[in-house]
Structure 1
């Protein structure tokens, strides 16, 4: 019996209009949810790297990889979660913060090696970078203060070593 778990797929693509739509459309047609997707230029001019986090069993993820390779403009597809990897996400969190609460809030922020990047009259904007569990834990600790706005990038990832 196959077990569903989270997979991180790296896709190297030609930097062309419509590539993101074709890739995400393939996931949608197969009934897959994309937990997060990040896209950006990479080390090779004219190419971009997509990092997609999704959930599924090994067999289905392998099928998706084969289908992705059939798409025009896709150069390489790999399930990097099968290797030792580094994954990070950026979160910007706007939290209610009256001046009296700020020292306590800054203590929470510093514990997570996050930082306050903007101070408003009654709020703070916090920047946090880390793995999914670190971001989730910080968000949960900030919830009681009142999260006014939350913006997350989704994971970007890379295989360790060479």
Structure 2
């Protein structure tokens, strides 16, 4: 069965919190929101509609990547860029659960994200990754990403900045 992207649901809580805990051990935030599950889902709904966004946040779709009914990862698709996102955040953030890596899921997730942004009128998609994240760099390049440069973020970690133009994914 193909990988699909969809909004998170109430019945995803256990699986998504488990992936979040795994990725936290790698220093990565998976859920991008805290609180009880209803609050988390409401945060994602508001962000998807651009409602009541706190300073520095932009309209964004948080979507679960699913294969055969099993959540394998997530994407966060930002509709626009702030100055900070232009520096090191980009339009798309994605993560795959450790046990589901090396199956091509990240590549498909990024392809679908670029297609979604193209449908929203975004022709140049910025995607970033840590400079030492060879796997993510390979995914971005496989989707047509062209390295513009490497910049240090607020945390001092060098980030590769790639642009995917047109429908390159």
In the superposition, the TM-score normalised over structure 1's length comes to 0.29
Greater RCO between the two (CA within 8 Å, min separation 6)? Answer: 1
- Select the structure that is richer in strand: 1
Return the index of the structure with the highest Cα Rg: 1
In the superposition, the TM-score normalised over structure 2's length comes to 0.29
